[in-house]
């Protein structure tokens, strides 16, 4: 299911329609994976703070335990404060979990070992809030690729400095697909909320709608079609897996 909300309208109606309220009341805890490894800067947008605020307040009305998580090399709290949400986090007693610092379990997909934070399993519901990007020369990133930021950096080093998790880049599309498959087998995410600023080949834009969906792969394929972009290899791999 994919629901669309006009920019400027409340996302709460779509969250109700897709069943988050009922599930939150039943489960009692929600984990939100954001894109906030570093503070936003020109050309590098992060999860939209106003949209994140709406989702946190929505969860709070059900008195559910809530956590915001990201692999930020120990700086997640500072990054959240940098986008103006420090008081919100305190007011609603939101837990902040930097996934780069968490203990892990090993999950094997095909011939790859991936290391997933154990804390993902501590919450009844898991929700992703990515940023849509397709920079020149770079691969498309949105819901599926969000989970590369969930695996701890220390487990993906090879002595190089190409990226925060250089081993992922040895076979990028295979690893992106397999990290997603590992997460969905270990601690599946049931909801994704897309909106805010996007970075595309032509530059930074503000998306004109909020998309709420319950399937990361389907939502990525929908966004790719809307933007007129070819699916990257990792999307094609996952589509074949089914």
pLDDT in tens, 155-200: 999 877 778 899 999 999 999 999 999 999 999 999 999 988 888 9
pLDDT given for residue 208 in this prediction: 87
Percent of the chain with pLDDT over 70: 99
Predicted pLDDT of residue 104:
98
* Cβ pair 178, 109 in contact under 8 A: yes
More confidently predicted of 162 and 93 = 93
Give pLDDT, residue 242.
60
Each residue's pLDDT tens digit, 39-74: 998 888 999 999 999 999 999 999 999 999 999 999
For the chain, domains (ranges, CATH) are: 2-241 (3.40.50)
Strands 95-98 and 197-200: unpaired
Angle between helices 20-27 and 49-60 (to 10 degrees): 50
More confident residue, 19 or 161: 19
Which pLDDT band, with edges at 50, 70 and 90, does 97 fall under?
very high
Q: Is the CA virtual torsion 226, 231, 235, 241 positive or negative?
A: positive
pLDDT of residue 240: 85
Dihedral of CA atoms 176, 181, 186, 187 in degrees, nearest 10, equals 80
Q: Are the beta carbons of 60 and 20 closer than 8 angstroms?
A: no
- Closest by alpha carbon to 56, among 97, 90, 6, 26? 90
Contacts of 134 (CB under 8 A, 6+ apart): 140, 141, 199, 200, 201, 227, 229
Mean pLDDT of 140-161: 93
61 vs 128: CA distance, rounded Å: 19
Query: What is the tens place of the pLDDT at every residue in 124-138?
Result: 999 999 999 998 889
- Tokens for 73, please give them: 């090399």
- Res 182: pLDDT: 98
* Per-residue DSSP letter, 30: E
Measure the CA–CA gap between 195 and 6, rounded to whole angstroms: 10
Of 55, 36, 49, residue with least CA distance to 212: 55
pLDDT band (50, 70, 90) for residue 9 = confident
Q: Look at residue 225 in the predicted model and tell me its pLDDT.
A: 95
Packing angle, helices 216-227 and 172-186, rounded to 10: 140
Which pLDDT belongs to residue 136? 87
Strand locations in the chain (E): 2-6, 29-34, 65-70, 95-98, 104-109, 112-117, 125-129, 191-194, 197-200, 203-206, 209-213
pLDDT digits (tens, 9 = 90+) for 192-230: 999 888 889 888 888 889 999 999 999 999 999 999 999
């Amino acid at each position: 299911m994919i629901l669309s909300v006009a920019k400027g309208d409340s996302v709460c109606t779509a969250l109700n329609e897709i069943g988050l309220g009922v599930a939150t009341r039943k489960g009692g805890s929600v984990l939100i994976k954001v894109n906030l490894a570093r503070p936003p800067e020109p050309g590098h947008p992060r999860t939209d703070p106003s949209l994140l605020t709406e989702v946190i307040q929505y969860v709070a009305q059900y008195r559910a335990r809530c956590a915001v998580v990201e692999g930020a090399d120990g700086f997640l709290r500072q990054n959240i404060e940098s986008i103006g949400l420090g008081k919100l986090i305190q007011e609603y007693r939101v837990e902040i979990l930097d996934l780069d610092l968490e203990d892990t379990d090993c999950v094997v997909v095909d011939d790859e070992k991936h290391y997933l934070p154990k804390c993902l399993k501590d919450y009844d519901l898991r929700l992703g809030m990515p940023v849509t990007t397709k920079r020149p020369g770079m691969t498309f990133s949105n819901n599926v690729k969000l989970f590369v930021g969930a695996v701890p950096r220390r487990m993906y080093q090879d002595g190089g400095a190409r990226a925060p998790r250089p081993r992922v880049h040895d076979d990028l599309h295979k690893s992106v697909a397999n990290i997603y498959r590992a997460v969905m087998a270990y601690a599946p995410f049931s909801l994704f909320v897309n909106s805010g600023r996007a970075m595309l080949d032509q530059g930074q834009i503000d998306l004109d709608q909020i998309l709420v969906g319950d399937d990361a792969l389907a939502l990525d394929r929908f966004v790719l079609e809307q933007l007129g972009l070819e699916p990257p290899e990792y999307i094609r791999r996952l589509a074949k897996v089914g």
